[in-house]
Amino acid sequence: MTQSTARPAAAAGTFDIGGDLTVNRLGYGAMQLTGPGIWGVPSDPDEAVRVLRRAVELGVTLIDTADSYGPFVSEDLIAKALAPYPDDLLIATKGGLTRHGPDIWLPVGRPEYLRQCVEMSLRRLGLERIGLYQLHRIDPQVPLEDQVGVLAEMQAEGKIAHIGLSEVSVAQIEAARVIAPIATVQNLYNLTERGSQEVLEYCEGNGIGFIPWFPLATGELARPGSVLASAAADHGASAAQLALAWLLHRSPVVLPIPGTSSTAHLEENLGAAEIGLSGEEVDRLTALA
């Protein structure tokens, strides 16, 4: 199933991040706009620019990135493709993971480093304020109050609008909320991986946006003749589109950010926003994990 309207992402409905930044719930994750291992420049930088511009044309108002993607490559491409930004577009970025080679990610949460991360992301993205800045990982070697505390300081300075967390537990969210308001949480969650179910339920109960990364995973659930494959066939859609549609129906606070380096794949992903699932279909898919 491909999109049938000019701005299919709008069919996903909206969510107000932090209570005041309204985004269409189906966004775009910009991690794959880099080289292999999320390292270096993409093989086709022009296509990366086309993907970003096409995402906005199709109604995406939330683009998620990080300074560690490349590193710096993803943020640079976003600025090249989209600045000056449309008024309704939220660029969410992250800091706190350092890179030492392809597929190598090490957390550094020292306050002076996180402050530098924010300042450099502001410069690369060409922004005066980052709408949503996420702590990419909690550094176990640094007190949480120091890591979230410096982001709260930069929020007070007007350089960050809202603060998010990534790969955290309910206990960590609650500890962070003592230090500063938390607008979003980004954890691994999809049709096959539900380890963050408790976190999702906490977010829903507290009005916190939940951004599931790796949202397209279907694995063995998509095998021919399976419940997922049959449901996809019923809707004239792919298994990956059904996985996205399921996420959108799972909770009103869920903000999927499927990523791709292909405009064709982008268009297919965003078509998922137009798939309506009955409560019975959602329950059947939920029961698969």
Does residue 3 have a pLDDT over 80?
no
Render pLDDT for 152-205 as a digit per residue (tens, 0 to 9).
999 999 999 999 999 999 999 999 999 999 999 999 999 999 999 999 999 999
Chain segment 213-260, per-residue pLDDT in tens: 999 888 888 899 999 999 999 999 999 999 999 999 999 999 999 999
Confidence of residue 4 (pLDDT cuts 50, 70, 90): low
- Reported as a single tens digit per residue, the pLDDT across 270-285 is 999 999 999 999 999 9
Asked if 3 and 269 count as a contact pair (C-beta separation under 8 A), the reply is no
Asked if residue 1 has pLDDT above 70, the reply is: no
Report the Cα–Cα distance between both ends of the chain, in Å, rounded. 24
Domains with residue ranges and CATH for the chain:
8-217+252-261 (3.20.20.100)
How are the residues of the chain apportioned to helix, strand and coil, as percentages rounded to the nearest 5? 45, 20, 40
Kindly compute the dihedral angle of the four CA atoms of residues 45, 66, 256, 270, in this order, to the nearest 10 degrees: -20
Copy the structure tokens of residue 99: 């890179």
Please tell me which residue in 28, 69, 133, 189 is annotated as part of the active site.
Answer: 69
Q: Are 135 and 163 in contact (CB under 8 A)?
A: yes
Catalytic residue list contains 69? yes
Instruction: For residue 114, give both structure tokens.
Output: 């996180």
Structure tokens at 44: 């086709």
Mean pLDDT estimate for the chain: 96
* Cα gap 33→214, rounded to integer Å: 15
- Identify the H or E element spanning 233: helix 227-234
Section 10-34 average pLDDT: 98
> What is residue 275's predicted lDDT score, i.e. its pLDDT?
97
Q: What is the pLDDT of residue 220?
A: 85
Least-confidence region, from 84-93, 113-122, 217-226, 265-274: 217-226
Contact 55, 267 (CB under 8 A): no
Supply the pLDDT for residue 2: 53
